[in-house]
Structure 1
Amino acid sequence: MSALRARLAAILLVACLLFSGQALITPQSAAAADPGYLMVHFTGDGSTGQQMYLSHSTDGLHWNDLNGGGMVLRSTVGTKGVRDPAFVKSPDGSKYWIVATDLCIGCGQNWDSAVNNASRNLVVWESTDLVTWSQPWLLNVAGAIPDGRNAWAPEAIWDPETNDYVLYWATNATLNGVLKHRIYYARTSDFRTITTPQVYIDRPGTQNIIDTQIVEVPAGVGSYRYVRASGDGQITLEGSNSILGTWTNLGNLSGIGLTGSQVEGPMWMKFNGTGKWALYLDQYASGGGYMPVLTTDPSNPAAYQKPASTSYNMGGTKKRHGWILNLTAAEESRVLARWPNTAVNRLQSYNFQDRYVRHANFDVRIDPNVSPVDDSRFRLRPGLTGSGTVSFESVNFPGYFLRHSNYDFQLVYNDGSSQFAADATFRRVAGLADSTWSSFQSYNHPDRYIRHYAYELRLDPITTATGRSDATFRVTS
């Protein structure tokens, strides 16, 4: 019996060890009622890839592209491209910001010019609900830095010691005779004005540092309140009990085979309801996109483990340097309702069937051979005024909708007003010239329909056979 008990005890011990190791690699799924996670990111170079995209996860490891994998915000300022976005949420949850690098590689700028003479601005959006965003604005953060040549990879964190946000980013500048990227910081309360930039992180010699992100750690985990991960030739971990205080070097991730020559863009995520974190790293050298490295103690380099490649899925688009927000139930509900995977469609003219509705310089008309073709692609969203109606959102200018004003049509950014919603909402009815096609009746002028006249889109009453043909369209892919 004693031998049998010993054997059973040994088996039990091995099982426990295996289970505990697996628990680290594969975090327990949150309860079904728990909200999930929202990632903001870009997808690659070029004017389309360098915009804002969103992905959602229920467990933090398996991601679904929102909006059908299409962009959700487009920069219309600065270089008109954005990279390296970060979410910022106010402590009371009443405001959100996205701050991002103003950079467009492959659309008028190459890496050499980006390093030595690029935008000194960041791009900022603001929201009160995480779904309706302001127009973007530029925030000059590096213009006051002597010989400051760019502003990259911004992040921000609320500092309870100063009762405002610490905004930090990388700038290539000459200091003490050495030109390299350092991390600078400034304080802000509104992301419109900042204090004078100061050096935040400066590595020895000529070592550059570009990417860094801070996570707040709860009491009882490790020895520090804050841990930051930085791309500086390694993925270096540092700890501090004050955001603007002294930071201690804790080591790096080279022990698990990850260095700065392989990965960049560290992005933290705390799993809901568990004592586990993921540090997502962008496998830029291999083009592999993000992978999660898992830990129960962000301050201990020895506690990190790579997951099995089958234990996570990043979704259909490549995720590049971004930020992950733990959602509340209300936030998740709003986000999923705003960006469902609605199909992309075109509106083909009934009586000029080689022509499609398109925007050009924000005016709206019907044209043949539309180039770029995305100018003629729209998502037929549930109407901004309510169910049973539709609104037309541009694919390549997300947040912009077809709207009538003085019975003329333009592509206009949704300002969230009730007037905008009414002007941009229509009832889809049987085609006035052919019932197998469609016509679109104005929500707030129900005696008028969308029609083309001299190829321009208008909102008119329809009284003739020509008018009925002009007001008839096929919704097609």
Structure 2
Amino acid sequence: MSRAWLRVSAVLAAACLLFASLSVTAPKRAAALEPFTGYLMAHFTGESANGEQIYLAHSDDGLRWTDLNNGQLVLRSTVGTRGVRDPALVRSPAGDRYWIVATDLRIASGTSWSDAANRGSTSLVVWESRDLVNWSAPWLINVAGGIPGAGNAWAPEAVHNPATGDYVLYWATNSARNGVTKHRIWYVRTGDFRTFTAPQLYIERGGTQGLIDTQIIEVPTSVGGYRYYRASADGHITIEAADSILGSWTTLGNLSHMGISNGTGGGNVVEGPMWAQFNGRNEWALWLDQFATGRGYMPITSTNLGSTQNFRTRTDYGMGGNRKRHGSILNLTAAEEGRVLGRWGAAVPINRIQSYNFQDRYVRHADLDVRIDANVSPAQDAQFRLVPGLANSSGHVSFASVNFPGYYLRHYGFDFVLAPDDGTATFAADATFRQVPGLATTSWASFQSYNYPDRYVRHYDYLLRLDPITDAQGRADATFRVTS
């Protein structure tokens, strides 16, 4: 290729990048959204069987939290290690798109911490939504794959960067550099959380001191003298400040004067710093996970982040029923809050579906197949929430799994399976039924298919099917009782 052509190509590439940057920065900043009225926290709960998944909690005041979805997980990872930790909630500047980015790690599967740190996943798990309630299937992005000797990719966070019109996505990777193996913070730039630039070193502490958890909050009014503040777990909880995300950062201090550290300073040993601004006022909370004692998150608050001496401890807070481990908080507009509470805030009862002619048996899923069984174990396999029908919410229901949130009973080839909602109209129709008086006795119930109204849910040889009902045996097999 000639040098002249190389110069022309470079000019064209620069022009394309400039155009892309202008296109991305066109949406308004998040600060210009409607006033915030509530708060949403995404978190995991620990190393239990279902603990390393996505849970949500809501708060009216930013201090007292209520578990959503009846305390059950909201999103389950089906990729990578099939477990997630450290979820970060990200909103686009225009408020029209959201992402959850999380660590691809499941200690509950028997993975040791040494294996996870040195031979773990170098990918992150991502979900995307346009309304905060309907989420895509998860996908993996191998952000640390380009780091020589990378052992993992942990504790991701992302912040929109107005200087470049995209997002700075950063995380911790354990790898060797200059003869020292430890965790450092790396970053990439991305506009869609699918494609990204090559990883670059972002934060490194001196000597052998590693760093895993760090989170940035933007203060557009620059209270305290800076636009961005960063809290990092690096032996202490170090607070830094800057006027640009990828510029130079100034160290403001740490929390040792409050008896709080990440281990180096002793005292109350914490991790997972999590920022949130209180709605409608210049006051901020820095939540810290008291993992060493198992007491969970505690907040310290400040009205001026320009000095660590301004933080104060709080006792007027409540964390709800679930233990909350390293996550993030998103301030919600009234519209966002209404959607979130409408989907997960109501206490929808948990039910079992009892067979009429085999009354010791209940509808259950087993390896995603659906049947009727007695003595179901685990009990949650036979527990469902009857939610408004996915295809028709008027007089119709869908059966939402309790222990596989986002999964519903649906017919497929007139057989029944438990499957994740893929967002298609076909899935919604296959998972929607009209509850009618029982075909065998009107004091019980039968369930008529939405898209095949001549067919009903029935069991045959203990397996659930969708069939036309033409005789007394069929009417008995298609009759059920919704019970607790």
Normalization by structure 1: what TM-score? Answer: 0.90
Counterpart among 410, 427, 439 of residue 420 in structure 1:
427
Shift of residue 395, structure 1, vs aligned partner: 1.5
> Which residue in 2 is equivalent to 1:162?
164
> Which residue in 1 is equivalent to 2:192?
190
**What is the rounded CA distance, in whole Å, between the counterparts of 1:68 and 1:132 in structure 2?**
18
SS in 2 for 1:155: strand
**What is the rounded CA distance, in whole Å, between the counterparts of 1:345 and 1:286 in structure 2?**
37
After superposition, residues 160-239 of structure 1 pair within 5 angstroms as 160-239=162-241
Alpha-carbon deviations, 1:226-253, whole Å to 9, x = none? 0000111111100011101111111011
Q: Does 1:47 align with 2:49?
A: yes
> Which residue in 2 is equivalent to 1:336?
341
Q: Does 1:84 align with 2:86?
A: yes
Alpha-carbon deviations, 1:262-304, whole Å to 9, x = none? 1110111111111111111111011011111111122320110
SS in 2 for 1:327: strand
Q: Does 1:444 align with 2:446?
A: no
SS in 1 for 2:109: coil
**What is the rounded CA distance, in whole Å, between the counterparts of 1:448 and 1:298 in structure 2?**
63
RMSD: 1.4
Counterpart among 403, 425, 432 of residue 439 in structure 2:
432
Counterpart among 354, 367, 376 of residue 360 in structure 2:
354
Question: What is the letter of the counterpart of residue 349 of structure 1?
Answer: S
Counterpart among 61, 64, 73 of residue 63 in structure 2:
61
> Which residue in 1 is equivalent to 2:102?
100
Contact 1:407–1:459 (Cα < 8 Å) also in 2: yes
Contact 1:268–1:277 (Cα < 8 Å) also in 2: yes
After superposition, residues 214-363 of structure 1 pair within 5 angstroms as 214-261=216-263, 262-308=269-315, 311-339=316-344, 340-363=346-369
Question: What is the letter of the counterpart of residue 326 of structure 1?
Answer: N
Number of aligned residue pairs: 443
Contact 1:117–1:149 (Cα < 8 Å) also in 2: yes
> Which residue in 1 is equivalent to 2:114?
112
Contact 1:47–1:104 (Cα < 8 Å) also in 2: no
> Which residue in 2 is equivalent to 1:16?
none
**What is the rounded CA distance, in whole Å, between the counterparts of 2:428 and 2:236 in structure 1?**
50
Alpha-carbon deviations, 1:370-403, whole Å to 9, x = none? 3333222211112222132211111122111111
Q: Does 1:151 align with 2:153?
A: yes
**What is the rounded CA distance, in whole Å, between the counterparts of 1:388 and 1:431 in structure 2?**
15
> Which 10-residue stretch deviates more, 168-177 or 289-298?
289-298
Contact 1:431–1:437 (Cα < 8 Å) also in 2: yes
After superposition, residues 457-468 of structure 1 pair within 5 angstroms as 457-468=464-475
SS in 1 for 2:260: coil
Contact 1:47–1:81 (Cα < 8 Å) also in 2: no
> Which residue in 1 is equivalent to 2:386?
380
SS in 2 for 1:333: helix
Stretches of structure 1 lacking an aligned partner (at least 5 in a row) = 1-32
Alpha-carbon deviations, 1:31-83, whole Å to 9, x = none? xx962111100011133011100101111111111110000000111111110
Question: What is the letter of the counterpart of residue 338 of structure 1?
Answer: R
Counterpart among 359, 364, 373 of residue 370 in structure 2:
364
Contact 1:382–1:391 (Cα < 8 Å) also in 2: yes
**What is the rounded CA distance, in whole Å, between the counterparts of 1:353 and 1:360 in structure 2?**
19
> Which 10-residue stretch deviates more, 254-263 or 204-213?
254-263
**What is the rounded CA distance, in whole Å, between the counterparts of 1:51 and 1:348 in structure 2?**
30
**What is the rounded CA distance, in whole Å, between the counterparts of 2:228 and 2:438 in structure 1?**
61
Contact 2:89–2:328 (Cα < 8 Å) also in 1: yes
Percent identity of equivalent pairs: 65
Counterpart among 409, 419, 438 of residue 416 in structure 2:
409
Shift of residue 220, structure 1, vs aligned partner: 4.3
Contact 1:237–1:299 (Cα < 8 Å) also in 2: no
**What is the rounded CA distance, in whole Å, between the counterparts of 1:379 and 1:139 in structure 2?**
33
**What is the rounded CA distance, in whole Å, between the counterparts of 1:220 and 1:74 in structure 2?**
38
> Which residue in 2 is equivalent to 1:3?
none
**What is the rounded CA distance, in whole Å, between the counterparts of 1:282 and 1:358 in structure 2?**
37
Contact 2:186–2:199 (Cα < 8 Å) also in 1: yes
Normalization by structure 2: what TM-score? Answer: 0.89
Contact 2:36–2:332 (Cα < 8 Å) also in 1: no
> Which residue in 1 is equivalent to 2:21?
none
Shift of residue 346, structure 1, vs aligned partner: 1.8
> Which residue in 2 is equivalent to 1:12?
none
**What is the rounded CA distance, in whole Å, between the counterparts of 1:444 and 1:345 in structure 2?**
24
Contact 1:367–1:455 (Cα < 8 Å) also in 2: yes
Alpha-carbon deviations, 1:132-162, whole Å to 9, x = none? 1111111111111111101100000111111
SS in 2 for 1:35: strand
Alpha-carbon deviations, 1:429-460, whole Å to 9, x = none? 22222333222122222222111112221111
**What is the rounded CA distance, in whole Å, between the counterparts of 1:53 and 1:299 in structure 2?**
32
